[in-house]
Amino acid sequence: MKTLRMLAALITIIVALSGRALSEDQCLTCHAGLGDKESQGYAHDIHKAKGISCAGCHGGNAQADDMDKGMDKAAGFMGVPHGDDISKACASCHSSPEKMKSFGSNLPTNQWEMLQTSVHAKLSTNGNEHIAQCITCHGVHGIVSVKDPRSPVYPLNVVKTCAQCHSNASFMRDYNPAMPVDQVEKYRTSVHGTLNAKGDPKTAECASCHGSHDIRAAKDAKSRVYGVNIPATCSGCHSDAERMKEYKIPTDQFAKFSRSVHGAALLQKHDLGAPACNDCHGNHGAAPPGVESVSKVCGTCHALNADLFSASPHKKAFDDRKLPECETCHGNHEIVAATDKLLGVSNDAVCSKCHRPDENPKGYAVAKTMKSLIDSLETASDTAASIVNDAEQKGMEVSEARFKLRDAHQARLQSRTAVHSFDEQKFRDVVSGGIAVAAVVAKEGKTAVDEYYFRRWGLGIATLIISLVLVSLYFTIRRIERRQAEK
């Protein structure tokens, strides 16, 4: 009995409270009666759920059930906001920590501020307002939490929201005729875009790479998609093992990339010529523009290596076996500086992975020869260099020989690229040029050293002769003096 009576009392209180809340928003009561789409949309709006009346954005007196009193300018009614007044109306709460706290909210209060720093804070073509207002992305009269699948910025809908402008060629032309309008089209060809279209909210969409309120131009150094910042943007998801668990792909790309020659050049030296994730994987599409697949991307920068590879016997051999071109020997994320250790038939050499005396033996023989050619070139250069050093220390003039030595080093550098022909004769041509130069340099150095010794011996003998002459002169003078004294 007692519990029933308490329950009844509770229901009475709830009914009374909700009745009061409704009766307080006379704007809504009257407009709902009019059946307009604004009040219909407002039924599921997050602001209504927070007890915010129509007057929260439009101003006016929400308690008045009379239209003129309610929508009275004196009571703060502002009518329908336009242009920047729209975002200002939103910011009157969303940029005020006190107001937001008074509604029990602890959301960030920086959206307006961030929007002002973004590329979307550009003026629209009429020059009166900014391109994007809060409602451009969030809608109005029916605004829901950004985590609600009905929100226009929910991951599955945001693409469409950005596309209303970015896929609209005639709209974009007015702002920037050079701006591509194919982002969505390309995005749909990528793994991200395909999964997104299938209803997976966890892959990357426009806002996960570009941000939301503080979107900047790609060439702005503070942009999330600026070369140096890209690896961190991608690794926000790709290094998060928990988030990526269900996809069963590795989460070590960033860690490996950071240790690679490319990562060191980009992240430490800020060398924008070195690839960031998007240079190999593309910005929006499945691969960068003009590249048929990610495994062919290296040639966009290392063109010489790629050309040699394409003309080499490995081209067909790798294609037949569906082996990726450069990755097979160099890897992809953890590419390290290449050395001649890769070459030859030792256990660490990449060639030995596929070439053995009993397996693809011709390659085995060529790998062995190539390595021994490099060894000969290096030995020849080292010998030549040490002879030239020796001569120089002895004070001999060998600048010309030293200059020629550069050609031998140059041949070694060329040989590193020439490897990719995987052709013994072509490789030999490059290397033997270097060996010949080294031999000439060694000979010139040796001549200089010989001359040094020759000069030293010559000087010694001359000194000896002069000393002998002096000594005999001395004795002759003494003898003459003695004779004169005897006289």
Q: Among residue numbers 280 through 339, which ones bind ligand HEC (CB under 6 A)?
A: 280-281, 283-284, 294-295, 297-302, 305-306, 309, 313-314, 317, 323-330, 332-333, 335, 337-339
Q: Which 75-114 positions form the footprint of ligand HEC (CB under 6 A)?
A: 79-81, 86-87, 89-94, 99-100, 103, 105, 107-108, 111-112
Measured from the CB atom, the residue of 355 and 411 that comes closer to ligand HEC is 355
d(CA 344, CA 340): 8
Measured from the CB atom, the residue of 132 and 401 that comes closer to ligand HEC is 132
CA dihedral 35, 36, 40, 45 (to 10 degrees): -140
Query: Do residues 231 and 267 lie in contact, with contact meaning Cβ atoms separated by under 8 Å?
Result: yes
Q: Which 397-426 positions form the footprint of ligand HEC (CB under 6 A)?
A: 416-417, 419-420, 422
User: If binding is defined by CB under 6 A, does position 183 make contact with ligand HEC?
Assistant: yes
CA distances (Å), 290 to each of 225, 277, 382, 391, 446, in order? 20, 17, 44, 54, 54
d(CA 43, CA 28): 9
Measured from the CB atom, the residue of 215 and 401 that comes closer to ligand HEC is 215
CA distances (Å), 257 to each of 226, 273, 414, in order? 17, 15, 26
Q: Which 241-280 positions form the footprint of ligand HEC (CB under 6 A)?
A: 247, 249-250, 253-254, 257, 261-262, 265, 271, 273-275, 277-280
Q: Which of 62, 405, 431, 437 binds ligand HEC (CB under 6 A)?
A: 62
Q: Which 160-179 positions form the footprint of ligand HEC (CB under 6 A)?
A: 161-162, 164-166, 175-176, 179
User: If binding is defined by CB under 6 A, does position 196 make contact with ligand HEC?
Assistant: no
d(CA 40, CA 20): 20
Q: How many CA atoms lie within 13 A of 224 on its CB side?
A: 18
Long-range contacts of 248-253 (CB under 8 A, 24+ apart): 252/333, 253/277, 253/333
Q: For tokens 């041949």, name the residue.
A: 411
Length of the chain: 487
Q: Which 452-471 positions form the footprint of ligand HEC (CB under 6 A)?
A: none
User: If binding is defined by CB under 6 A, does position 342 make contact with ligand HEC?
Assistant: yes
User: If binding is defined by CB under 6 A, does position 354 make contact with ligand HEC?
Assistant: yes
Q: Is the dihedral of CA 12, 17, 23, 27 positive or negative?
A: negative
Interface stretch with ligand HEC, choices 117-125, 394-402, 448-456, 459-467 (CB under 6 A) = 117-125
d(CA 278, CA 276): 6
User: If binding is defined by CB under 6 A, does position 46 make contact with ligand HEC?
Assistant: yes
Min CB(444)–ligand HEC separation in Å: 27
User: If binding is defined by CB under 6 A, does position 363 make contact with ligand HEC?
Assistant: yes
Q: Tokens in use for 467?
A: 């000393």
Interface stretch with ligand HEC, choices 206-214, 385-393, 449-457, 460-468 (CB under 6 A) = 206-214
Min CB(218)–ligand HEC separation in Å: 4
Measured from the CB atom, the residue of 194 and 447 that comes closer to ligand HEC is 194
Q: How many CA atoms lie within 13 A of 47 on its CB side?
A: 21
Min CB(95)–ligand HEC separation in Å: 8
Measured from the CB atom, the residue of 249 and 485 that comes closer to ligand HEC is 249
d(CA 224, CA 211): 7
Min CB(152)–ligand HEC separation in Å: 8
Q: Which of 142, 210, 285, 442 binds ligand HEC (CB under 6 A)?
A: 210
Nearest CA to 335 out of 350, 322, 319 is that of 350
Q: Tokens in use for 60?
A: 């006016």
